[in-house]
Chain A
């Protein structure tokens, strides 16, 4: 179906189901329970899951397939955000033109930066992309303030020209982004028992786009083009002597991943119509690298998992403060309660970075293939049956190639 193998089709269907059911699945604890803190089913966070998922899926097309490690991809995200906000300011609050412009402009930037940076490989390529992104970040902050809004960022105002729309709503407010009238911030609440679920238009818009681009990346992974990209990663010498020019392949991958990043940036602006330079800083580029490697570079699902993992931590762990901790451990005797809270305190709330750093280290040390590798090991452990394993001796009976993806 859809040009995918049977296995891939069912995989895609599972992904679609999980994405659409996210508002239910991420809200497993009743509102008044102590664990409600761990619920992640609120629109803002779910939107971020989808948006950073798209960013990481795109980054993975470059890094996971070709092995070229870009340290400047956040620049395209920022460019996407700025383009989208300008579209809101000048043309219409409908998100479609904004997203189209975001993708086109970031694609152009990626073409330019990729064309220059791909003249070098390895760490030299990484530093070139880092340098371009840092330059764009610095310029957005300083000289380009008329276009980017400088330190305050680019925001909508009450007197934007907006050709196909109104500058102000009748109530005198700035209009909000919408999809043909469906406002991105519209939500439906659904309370069942102690649970409360929020179905948000913005999230579902992001989710549908995320599913589309996930499907697209699946097609790329399985296509001859995807195979060529993996060939670039494994042996450029043979590639050259096979009559293939690796440069346009890597450039195409770079531009595609830049467009994914631009799309993610455009969506960020569509959910919350402002754009700031800090989105382009190297730490933001580093974040998508971490997401991809943490989840499992070169796998289909890995980057999405990595993005979800990091964003979940950022939002949930950072909110656990001492009051919450005391509430959790209130059942302990007072002295013990204080001790336990004091032990946990450095790892949560403002210290969530510490937990994240430790988790990074643990994952890299023990799960070199990322979270996807962890999942594979788990399923293998459960599936282990007494039947003899023909793959015992890799020297003489090598196993089948692990299929890309899963």
Chain B
């Protein structure tokens, strides 16, 4: 039984079958990559997992709790964090404040009216934020305007924000999309470091095979809304079905 169980999930948009009977099980503390050509349904699947879309059929359970019908913020509170293709951070806040928001959310839940308290009085949270920034080597940038960070720094900040909540499952949506080779390698190193240091499950949706093969322990290949093959990365490479999915003109 995996930490995340996707069973028989289907989703239609008008006449288009975006997801067709998807079954995927993601084992605890593993790195699981979901790959596939454009239009394979990866993004739709991710949106179902985070509560942005409700599937027509099937079930999604996380630690034996159904995720269907829950709002994105409720799913996050269960211990699922998400990293976006383009880093989603609080651009008008400082880097330090960007770290504080998830820490408050982790401690206080979806809403708390702490309108009269001061931030400085929250010593534990301030210390945790500083420690986390230190871990991703961004402590010296704590007072910078987050919108003015470089793309790579934004990615690291977003990662740090997610990790500060100590999620059990981290969903990554093409974390290296549009990055230069050097930045991609830095991100891979960062992810490896995270994987080795923490008890965390990662599900990566990725285009870049280099990223997939350097990180993943299991790989699911999707095509036309349905999983084609699931296997260890080294065996995926030679699989004729996978080659057909990528080269066979579906994309």
Nearest Cβ on chain A to B50's Cβ, whole angstroms: 7
B76 neighbours in A (Cβ, 8 Å): 240-243
For window 315-356 of chain A, which residues contact chain B by CB distance below 8 Å? none
A220 to B117, CA, bound (A): 8
Select which of B72, B102, B113, B121 is within 8 A of A240 by beta carbon. B72
B179 at the interface (CB under 8 A from A): no
B188 at the interface (CB under 8 A from A): no
A390 at the interface (CB under 8 A from B): no
Interface residues on B, range: 35 or more
Are A238 and B93 in contact (CB-based, < 8 A)? no
Nearest Cβ on chain A to B171's Cβ, whole angstroms: 9
Select which of A4, A224, A225, A231 is within 8 A of B93 by beta carbon. A231
Select which of A237, A242, A398 is within 8 A of B101 by beta carbon. A242
A261 to B59, CA, bound (A): 48
A20 at the interface (CB under 8 A from B): no
- B100 (CB) vs chain A CBs: closest residue: A227
Are A242 and B119 in contact (CB-based, < 8 A)? no
Select which of B97, B111, B116 is within 8 A of A227 by beta carbon. B97
For window 65-80 of chain B, which residues contact chain A by CB distance below 8 Å? 71-73, 76-77
A256 to B144, CA, bound (A): 30
Select which of A238, A239, A240, A243 is within 8 A of B165 by beta carbon. A243
B18 at the interface (CB under 8 A from A): no
A238 neighbours in B (Cβ, 8 Å): 88-90, 161
B118 neighbours in A (Cβ, 8 Å): 3-4, 219, 222-223
| A237-B88 contact, Cβ under 8 Å, with A224-B122, A243-B77, A249-B111 | yes
B199 at the interface (CB under 8 A from A): no
- B89 (CB) vs chain A CBs: closest residue: A238
Are B90 and A220 in contact (CB-based, < 8 A)? no
Are A235 and B90 in contact (CB-based, < 8 A)? yes
Are B73 and A234 in contact (CB-based, < 8 A)? no
A235 neighbours in B (Cβ, 8 Å): 88-91
Are B144 and A224 in contact (CB-based, < 8 A)? no
Are A226 and B89 in contact (CB-based, < 8 A)? no
For window 186-241 of chain A, which residues contact chain B by CB distance below 8 Å? 219-220, 222-228, 230-231, 233-235, 237-241
A-B contact list, 7 entries, CB within 8 Å: A3-B118, A5-B120, A219-B115, A237-B88, A241-B81, A244-B73, A252-B113
- Please report B residues at the A interface, Cβ cutoff 8 Å: 50, 71-73, 76-77, 81-82, 84, 88-94, 97, 100-102, 104-106, 109-122, 143-145, 148-149, 161, 165
